[in-house]
Amino acid sequence: AGSNEFEITAVNGVGRASKPFVVSSSGPPLKNKPKSGTVSATQVWAVVIGISQYRKSGISLKYADRDAQAFFAFLRSPEGGGLSADHISLLLNENATRESIIKTIGDKLNRAFEDDMVIIYIACHGMPDPVGNEVYFLGYDAKPENLAGTAVSQIDIEKALTRTRAKKKLLIADACHSGSVGLGMRGNYAYLTNK
Q: Is 126's pLDDT higher than 70?
A: yes
pLDDT number for residue 15: 73
Q: Which of 31-40, 104-113, 125-134, 184-193 has the highest mean pLDDT?
A: 104-113
The model's confidence at residue 195, banded by pLDDT at 50, 70 and 90, is low
pTM over 0.85: no
Q: What is the 3-state secondary structure (H, E, C) of the chain?
A: CCCEEEEECCECCCCCECCCEEEEECCCCCCCCCCCCCCCCCCEEEEEEECCCCCCCCCCCCCHHHHHHHHHHHHHCHHHCCCCHHHEEEEEHHHCCHHHHHHHHHHHHHCCCCCCEEEEEEEEEEEECCCCCCEEECCCCCCHHHHHHHCEEHHHHHHHHHHCCCCEEEEEEEEECCHHHCCCCCCCHHHHHHC
Q: What is the mean pLDDT of residues 101-129?
A: 93
Mean pLDDT of the chain: 83
Q: What is the mean pLDDT of residues 170-185?
A: 64
Hey, how many other C-beta atoms are within 10 angstroms of the C-beta on 103?
14
CA distance 57 to 68: 21
pLDDT number for residue 8: 83
Over the stretch 57-104, which tens digit does the pLDDT of each residue have? 888 898 999 999 999 999 999 999 999 999 999 999 999 999 999 999
pLDDT number for residue 179: 42
